[in-house]
Structure 1
Amino acid sequence: MRWWVKSAPDQHAFDGLDAVFQLQGQVVSDGPMGDVVRLHRGERTFFVKRYRNGGGHLHNWIGTPRVQREWRNLDLFRRWGLPVPEVVGAGFRRRLGRFHQGALITVGIPDSTDLATLARSGAACLRDRAWVATVSDQVADGLRVMHARGFCHGDMKWRNILVTGTPPRVFFIDCPAGRFWFGPFLHYRVIKDLACLDKVAKHTLSRTQRLRFYLRYTGHSRLNDADRRRIRKVLRFFQGRE
């Protein structure tokens, strides 16, 4: 078994996978992979993501389990200067060589909401051009940092971007699918990341706001021919799959 935990209030509650899987709290999500529980300890909120599956049949036996990929990627983002929740505990265990269970514990971001929730609720902030521009710039800058290193998020959806504070600050979360790519594989994955973001943006933001995001992401002042070709691929990516 691999397990580590930082100092935290009521630390014995996080002292090993057995203790973590006995925790009771508000269930945020539940599914075949595992569940996410929200806990309050002292003045802080913690999110406990508990895995019962390694991330597919192959990853249950060989390779890196999903939970390990997630905490490694969050650490990568932190080292690249991207804002992410603080990880205070993580680990997993195998039984007879097969992934058995794992967990990731992060500190909650106060007064934060994910972008997908804001979009579904028709939040007033999305009609504030200055607010949208500030958030859009941060997302574009973060994505450019990842892609410039050959890394793609793999699940760059609005639900995986938290926003908090005034002025707003963006935090990237939930990235177990992220990995490094190269050549044509990198090109395809870059398109996918951009298309995942635009899947909601096209229903929520104006064309001008979407164009502003793309130009910020590329660092260009105007579109060139390569940009236009890429944008066409982004727009076609989910055609027939929505």
Structure 2
Amino acid sequence: MKTWVLNPAFADGEAGQLFADLPSVFALQGESITTDDISEVHRFCMDGRCYYIKRYVEAGKNLRRFIGRPRIRAEWENLLKFQRWGIPTVPVVAYGMERSGLGFGRGALITLGIDDTDDLAHLAKHKGLRLRDRSWLDAVIAQVARGTRIMHEHGFAHNDLKWRNILVDRAASPQVYFIDCPAGRKWPGPLLHYRIVKDLACLDKLGKYHLRRVDRLRFYLAYTQRQRLTAADKKRIRAVLAFFEGRE
């Protein structure tokens, strides 16, 4: 069984030909960005646009090789969820996979690169001046809080909500994009609480080193859409702060 979907907006011209099907996508050779035992990412540029091509030859690592959603399928489904929910993300150009017998054969996801963006981890590592710009930071905090809240309101947890997985452009009025979410999924109520704490703790893992306490509080209040903390909020914040204790 083979599935391949090409976004109609990219069906014409050279992109439509090069991304027409899975064999064509696996034949492309672009600039290698990352590679490991199960996947590789290439950047392929043409006609003034750059595309990111993720190709998987295994469903995942460990048990995910044999059971559950293949990692590549989870990633494209989650990005499409973000689009439906109004969470800014990278445009999805094409995606699909094929089976080998009853198991996973190979799969790919193509996204359109967004010009002039940096991930938040990069800005933190290089001590970007924008992190000290109050108006810029307030806008970014508000957008990250909104996107995180929408996920959680849908019973969904990102499960790897780190600064490296959040892009922000270089415009005077910044736009935030949520990316790379192969581990995200919906969780039933009792399990969702733990995953929400983990998402918030992942954000605060770098936040505690690069943001003022008042900024971290402003994020949490924007996330909850409240003016002040409740007793339940204080309990959850303690859980967030303790989440990575002894593991860093």
- Structure 1 segments of 4+ aligned residues over 4 angstroms from their partners: none
How has the CA–CA distance of structure 1 residues 208 and 5 changed in structure 2, closer, same or farther, with 3 Å as cutoff? same
Q: Which runs of 5 or more residues in structure 1 are unaligned?
A: none
TM-fit CA distance, 1:61: 3.4
If the length of structure 2 is used for normalisation, what is the TM-score?
0.93
- Where 2:27 maps in the other structure, the secondary structure is coil
Say whether the 8 Å CA contact 1:9–1:41 is kept in structure 2.
Answer: no
Match of 2:207?
201
What amino acid is aligned across from residue 154 of structure 2 in structure 1?
R
Say whether the 8 Å CA contact 1:61–1:97 is kept in structure 2.
Answer: no
If the length of structure 1 is used for normalisation, what is the TM-score?
0.96
- Where 1:82 maps in the other structure, the secondary structure is coil
1:79-90 superposed matches below 5 A: 79-90=84-95
For 1:27 and 1:114, the matched residues in 2 are separated by: 19
Question: Is 1:130 matched up with 2:135?
Answer: yes
For 1:59 and 1:18, the matched residues in 2 are separated by: 24
1:33-48 superposed matches below 5 A: 33-48=38-53
For 1:82 and 1:179, the matched residues in 2 are separated by: 15
Per-residue deviation, residues 50-91 of structure 1 (Å, max 9, x unmatched): 112212344333432111111111111111111111111101
For 2:32 and 2:210, the matched residues in 1 are separated by: 29
For 2:244 and 2:69, the matched residues in 1 are separated by: 29
Per-residue deviation, residues 89-134 of structure 1 (Å, max 9, x unmatched): 1011121222121110011111111111111111110111111110
Say whether the 8 Å CA contact 1:8–1:88 is kept in structure 2.
Answer: no
Q: Which runs of 5 or more residues in structure 2 are unaligned?
A: none
What amino acid is aligned across from residue 168 of structure 2 in structure 1?
V
For 2:180 and 2:173, the matched residues in 1 are separated by: 23
Question: Is 1:226 matched up with 2:227?
Answer: no
- How high is the sequence identity, in percent, across the aligned residues? 50
- Where 2:108 maps in the other structure, the secondary structure is strand
RMSD over equivalenced CA pairs, Å: 1.3
Q: How many residues align structurally?
A: 242
